[in-house]
Amino acid sequence: MNCDGCGAPLPPGANACPACGRPAVLAPPPPGSPRASGSVRKAAADTVEATKAVVSEAKRTGKAALGEAKLAVRDVSDLTRKAVHEVGKELENLGKDLQKGKKGQ
């Protein structure tokens, strides 16, 4: 996979482009693959709506709020990326535990 911004190759599992720093955009899951629970999708949708509200407010109030809006969007992106990474690690550890027979007996 390559960066949408500069076209540089992205290493597997990269959260951002090592060349330009642009957040990596994940490919959509294949049709028929498992989906996140409703509460996870709702939280993601709420995050998107909150980010859109910040951008909308910046448009309404003018250039002075643009910097603040960019910071807010970056913060949301960083927090989301960190949360996804942490959940991924937890799931990876759970998978290892299940393989060892430690859980779900």
- pLDDT for the residue numbered 33: 66
Q: Is residue 96 part of a domain?
A: yes
Q: How many residues does the chain have?
A: 105
Task: Encode pLDDT of 6-44 as tens digits.
Answer: 888 888 777 788 888 887 766 566 666 666 667 777 777
Q: Is residue 22 part of a domain?
A: no
- pLDDT for the residue numbered 35: 65
Burial of 17 from C-beta contacts in 10 A (0-12 / 13-18 / 19+)? buried
- pLDDT for the residue numbered 3: 79
- Say what the pTM is: 0.43
Burial of 43 from C-beta contacts in 10 A (0-12 / 13-18 / 19+)? middle
**Domain limits for position 58:** 38-100
Q: Is residue 18 part of a domain?
A: no
Task: Encode pLDDT of 51-89 as tens digits.
Answer: 778 778 777 777 667 777 777 778 877 888 888 888 888
Q: Is residue 2 part of a domain?
A: no
Q: What is the total count of domains within the chain?
A: 1
